[in-house]
């Protein structure tokens, strides 16, 4: 495992984790499909420019490779962002950060089934602890008198599943396609998926009423969530196993939690910390 690849992948995960903050701001200010349509369009143009700048052509792909790329875009961009935005309507950024801790467990399980990587006893124990921690968070970590919070948390668990599957699928084409080729293709497919409903929502949205905070959050979401993580992840994942990539994705919840506490001023209760520690301990145990 190359140190440079570890550092690049880690930074990519931290940036993905920071999407909890920008998404929390944007979900209150813009329609879900419209904001994601814009978020895909601008990076798509950037990746196209980078392809031309590096004189890279898109290679011929087999049917299986095309299916895997579509699946990556669907779960890693389309489903991920829909569940994240709608989930954050009902739950807190810190809740989301903690529940995203489950993505390494999903990645480890799917690496076992799809990549035939060993699922050792310590990983099984770690996954079990993560499940206990998540149950603890949902039952004791907050006020469940509002069923919307549970609904939001279930959506965020869906985000974690999408991220785990995205990590595993990313191993398939990472050696045949360059980082820019992968980024362009995934973003193009994602843009096409978001486009119909983005066009539907656009006429009813007042762009002139956007605040400075919304514009800055959108700009951050586009560049630091929509562009840089793709380049960092696709430049490094070929040197990592599926389980190693899954373990490093623990940086998603860690950054999400820290940034939610600092920038969103969300309180952290003692019970919440206990559930968080159980969940994160389960993830750490899976590290090799």
Cβ distance 88 to 217 under 8 Å? no
Give the list of residues 6+ apart from residue 145 with CB closer than 8 angstroms, or none. none
What's the pLDDT at 36?
94
Would you state the pLDDT for residue 62? 87
Q: Which sign, positive or negative, has the C-alpha torsion 143, 148, 149, 153?
A: positive
Name, in order, each residue with C-beta under 8 angstroms of 94's C-beta and a sequence gap of 6 or more: 256, 257, 260, 261, 264, 266, 268, 272
> Where in the chain does DSSP place strands (E)?
none
Q: Do residues 213 and 25 touch, judged by C-beta distance below 8 A?
A: yes
**Closest alpha carbon to 179 in 40, 7, 56:** 56
Residue-level pLDDT at 19: 85
d(CA 274, CA 129): 12
288 residues of the chain, pLDDT tens digit each: 577 888 898 899 889 888 888 888 898 899 999 999 999 999 999 999 999 998 888 888 888 889 999 999 999 889 988 998 888 888 777 777 777 767 777 777 777 777 766 666 766 676 667 666 666 655 555 544 455 777 888 888 898 888 888 878 877 766 778 889 989 999 999 999 999 999 999 999 999 989 999 999 999 999 999 899 989 988 888 777 766 676 677 677 777 777 777 777 766 666 666 766 776 676 566 555
CA–CA separation, 134 and 43 (whole Å): 34
* Cβ–Cβ < 8 Å for 253, 163: no
Q: Are 65 and 173 in contact (CB under 8 A)?
A: yes
Q: Residue 153's pLDDT is what?
A: 82
**Residue 251: which H helix or E strand, with range?**
helix 251-263
């Amino acid at each position: 495992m190359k140190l440079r690849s570890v550092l690049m992948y880690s930074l990519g995960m931290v940036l993905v984790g920071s999407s909890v903050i920008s998404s929390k701001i944007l979900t209150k200010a813009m329609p879900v499909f419209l904001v994601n349509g814009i978020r895909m369009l601008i990076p798509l143009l950037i990746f196209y420019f980078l392809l031309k700048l590096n004189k890279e052509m898109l290679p011929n792909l087999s049917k299986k490779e095309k299916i895997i790329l579509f699946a990556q875009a669907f779960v890693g961009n389309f489903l991920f962002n829909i569940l994240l935005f709608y989930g954050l309507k009902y739950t807190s950024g810190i809740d989301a950060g903690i529940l995203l801790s489950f993505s390494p467990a999903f990645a480890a399980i799917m690496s076992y089934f799809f990549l035939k990587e060993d699922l050792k006893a310590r990983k099984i124990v770690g996954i079990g602890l993560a499940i206990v921690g998540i149950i603890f968070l949902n039952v004791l970590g907050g006020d469940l008198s509002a069923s919307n919070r549970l609904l939001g948390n279930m959506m965020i668990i869906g985000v974690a599943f999408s991220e785990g599957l995205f990590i595993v699928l990313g191993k398939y084409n990472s050696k045949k396609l360059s980082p820019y080729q992968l980024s362009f293709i995934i973003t193009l497919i994602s843009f096409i998926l978001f486009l119909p409903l983005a066009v539907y929502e656009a006429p009813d949205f007042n762009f002139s009423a956007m605040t400075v905070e919304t514009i800055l959050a959108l700009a951050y979401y586009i560049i630091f969530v929509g562009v840089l993580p793709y380049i960092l992840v696709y430049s490094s994942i070929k040197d990592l196993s599926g389980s190693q990539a899954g373990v490093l994705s623990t940086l998603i919840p860690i950054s999400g939690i820290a940034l939610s506490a600092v920038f969103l001023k969300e309180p952290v209760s003692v019970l919440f910390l206990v559930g968080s520690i159980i969940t994160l301990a389960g993830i750490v145990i899976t590290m090799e």
